[in-house]
Amino acid sequence: PGPQLPHDPEKKTIVVLGSGWGATSFLNTLDTTDYNVVVISPRNYFLFTPLLPSVAVGTLSPRSILQPTRYVTRHKTRTVEVIEAEAQSVDPVNKTVSFVDNSDIQGTVSSTTIPYDYLVYAVGAETQTFGIPGVTEHACFMKELNDAEKMQRRFLDCLESAAFPGQSEDEIERLLHMVVVGGGPTGVELSGELHDFLEEDLKSWYPELAGKIKITLVEALPSVLPMFSKRLIDYTMSTFKESKIDILTQTMVKEVKERSVLLAMPDKSIVDMPCGMVVWAAGNRGRKVTQDLMAQLAGAQTNKRGITIDEYMEMKGSNGSIFAIGDCTSSAHAPTAQVAQQQGSYLARAFAQRVKRDRLVDQVADLERSAAMSLHEDDRKKVLAEAEAAKRQLAKFKIRPFSYSHQGTLAYIGSDKAIADLPFLNGSFASGGLLTYYFWRSAYISTLFSLRNRTLVATDWLRTKIFGRDVSRE
């Protein structure tokens, strides 16, 4: 039989907000037989973020790391409704979500409100700017697909403008200076990818400019990649030194201007450093819709870093109706894809258990009702005994709490080198270099959700190896 109608009034409705790591993993694992499921997200696809910096420099095509959300939902036993829209507010008391169609083309209806029984809240986070002047206006981010595309256009624009006849040496130097802010994994991986682009392609496409390009990575803390072991931090620093990527640690960006960045140096002096492009990768902050939701449950939600959840992913204060996963939460785990993915599949399995528990609750209520209506004492006793047995089963019923299994941390640092901190025999194993790079590639290829994406990414890697990256600017 084909998929049934989307909405069955007998079944509970799960509304999923988001189509990122957490939501997609939830949808992949969820058995939809017993629920109505509605997915709401402003983008109708999943984005494989670990390979986003590779898209920014043209190693991979954007489409290779996207998976339409309907690819996941079409294989489900019952129809899942996918709505491309942005949730604007959640009412945790009346259990409703209001959302708007933010796309360029809209019909006569572009906003509405729907009820939910359970809300799976997986809207991720946005890039933290700390309110630093000029960041939103002049810097590129590295979070969404359009950020990577914008950065690529900007980078190529800088090259073409530097190649314009009669440009002064100072201006060429400025245009060819790329500044990456944030020495977390996003900033480091992006710097590495930019360097590869420079080494492998720009030397042949723009030979007159290639030697003049400069990459600077600015980090406020004393070291980059604090989540990695000291040995791998040192390895990254020395690889960057060989690659001529300047790392400025203990240096804080105070302002981003149209043609420069203002830096507070370790000696407290302020330096105005000219540059052609700034990529801002300074971490995460909660979205407005998340802050508004938390404010409505202020008694239980006091952590500014994100939604407080318990070990069942339940948002504290929501009375069992909102479950939050991924970067929008503040838990003991780092905001990573690995965590969001495990939380998503855990939650889907917990929902399967919840169906069994709800059935037992209904069974007990039905039996007690029919016992009360029994005319014969013998029948009544029999039904009450059955109700007691169902109650005992219910008392034993426990949904297992979430437990995170860390698979290790990997990062690409350019020059065909990657670093890996892997849990190994209860300790950890740190490795860096070419072999780790092949491990990085195979780990990411196998993590991609579909065979289609795996094929596209592998083909792109081969295409780049043979023909180089595309430097045409759209």
- Is there a contact between 49 and 337 (Cβ–Cβ < 8 Å)? yes
Q: At what angle do helices 337-373 and 21-29 cross, to 10 degrees?
A: 50
By C-beta, is 260 or 329 nearer to ligand FAD?
Answer: 329
How many Å apart are CA 336 and CA 62, to the nearest integer? 21
End-to-end CA distance of the chain: 46
Rounded Cα distance between 19 and 84, Å, is 10
191 contacts ligand NAD (rule: CB under 6 A): no
Q: Interaction with ligand FAD in 140-159: which residues (CB under 6 A)?
A: 142-143
Q: What are phi and psi of 309, to 5 degrees?
A: -125, 160
Asked if 341 touches ligand NAD (CB under 6 A), the answer is no
- Restricted to residues 309-338, the positions that interact with ligand NAD (CB under 6 A) are 334-336
Shortest distance (Å) from residue 83 CB to ligand FAD: 9
Q: Which of 175, 181, 209, 275 binds ligand NAD (CB under 6 A)?
A: 181
Residue 286 in the binding site for ligand NAD (CB under 6 A): no
Interaction between residue 421 and ligand FAD (CB under 6 A)? no
Query: Quick one: which segment of 115-123, 219-227, 295-303, 392-400 binds ligand NAD (CB under 6 A)?
Result: 219-227
Cα-based angle 338, 401, 126 (whole degrees, multiple of 5): 40
What number of chain residues touch ligand NAD (CB under 6 A)? 28
Q: How far is CA 322 from CA 45, 93, 210, 357, 433, in A?
A: 23, 11, 53, 18, 43
- Pick the closest to residue 212 from 182, 168, 154 (CA basis): 168
122's contact among ligand FAD, ligand NAD, none, with CB below 5 to 8 A by partner kind, is ligand FAD
Among ligand NAD, ligand FAD, none, residue 124 binds (CB under 5-8 Å by kind): ligand FAD
331 binds ligand FAD (CB under 6 A): no
Regarding 287 and contact with ligand FAD (CB under 6 A), the answer is yes
252 binds, among ligand FAD, ligand NAD, none (CB under 5 to 8 A by kind): ligand NAD
Nearest Cα neighbor of 314 from 336, 286, 346, 357 is 346
Q: Are 30 and 78 in contact (CB under 8 A)?
A: no
Radius of gyration of the chain (CA): 26
> At which residue do the structure tokens 């994406």 appear?
453
Q: Is 83 in the site for ligand NAD (CB under 6 A)?
A: no
**In angstroms, what is the minimal distance from the CB of 140 to ligand FAD?**
12
Nearest to 449 by CA among 64, 142, 143: 64
Backbone angles phi, psi at 303, to 5 degrees: -85, 120
Label residue 218 exposed, middle or buried (CB < 10 Å: 0-12, 13-18, 19+): buried
Q: Which one of ligand NAD, ligand FAD, none is in contact with 306 (Cβ closer than 5 to 8 A by kind)? A: none
Which lies closer to ligand NAD via its Cβ, residue 143 or residue 316?
143
- Does 420 engage in binding with ligand FAD (CB under 6 A)? no
Under rule CB under 6 A, residue 252 binds ligand NAD: yes
Name the 3-class secondary structure at 43. coil
| Residue 215 lies near ligand FAD (rule: CB under 6 A) | no
CA gap 220, 218 in Å, rounded: 7
CA distances to 118, 226, 339 from 330, rounded to whole Å, are 20, 19, 12
Residue 283 binds ligand NAD, judged by CB under 6 A: yes
Q: In the range 292-311, which residues lie near ligand FAD by CB under 6 A?
A: none
Q: Name the closest residue to ligand NAD (Cβ).
A: 184
Q: Which does 86 bind (CB under 5 to 8 A by kind): ligand FAD, ligand NAD, none?
A: ligand FAD
Cα distance between residue 252 and residue 356, in whole Å: 53
Residue 58 lies near ligand NAD (rule: CB under 6 A): no
Residues of this chain that bind ligand FAD (CB under 6 A)? 17-23, 40-43, 49-50, 52-53, 86-87, 122-124, 142-143, 186, 287, 289, 326-328, 335-338, 340
Q: Which residues make up the interface to ligand NAD (CB under 6 A)?
A: 50, 130, 132, 181-187, 189, 218-221, 227, 252-253, 281-284, 334-336, 409-411
